[in-house]
Amino acid sequence: MTPAFVLQLGRRPPGGGSDAAQQIGLGFTASRRVGKAVARNRARRRLSEAARAVLPGPARPGYNYVIVARPAVLTWPFERLLSELRTAFARLTPGTPDGGAASDGRS
């Protein structure tokens, strides 16, 4: 979790063909807390473009990722957004169903 976004992880459900286990699911959301419709759309576009630049490298096939926008996503410099997104993807533990744990060695 950062002031600009929250990255969530979930295992892709079984089924959906043999390719489903090798695919990466990605979704974006922004609540009204981010702002009015124009601000929410801009937040989703910024996150989408950042994810396009960062992925598929740190993402793991067979998982769904959801990036939830927070208000700071509208004001952060794009380079900082990229850096934080790379870090968030790297910290997610693939075995965690809710995606909230970090794999930095701490319990």
Asked if residue 100 is part of any domain, the answer here is: no
Mean pLDDT computed over every residue of the chain: 82
CA–CA distance, 104 with 39 (Å, rounded to integer): 33
Asked if residue 65 is part of any domain, the answer here is: yes
Comparing C-alpha atoms, which of 32, 31, 33, 28 is closest to residue 50?
Answer: 28
CATH of the domain at 45: 3.30.230.10
Asked if residue 96 is part of any domain, the answer here is: no
Asked if residue 11 is part of any domain, the answer here is: yes
The CB-side HSE value for 1 (13 A sphere, CA atoms) comes to 6
Asked if residue 98 is part of any domain, the answer here is: no
* Entry pTM: 0.77
pLDDT digits (tens, 9 = 90+) for 67-98: 999 999 999 999 999 999 988 988 875 543 44
In terms of pLDDT, which residue wins out, 64 or 32? 32
Count how many domains the chain has.
1
Asked if residue 45 is part of any domain, the answer here is: yes
- Parent domain of 81: 5-91
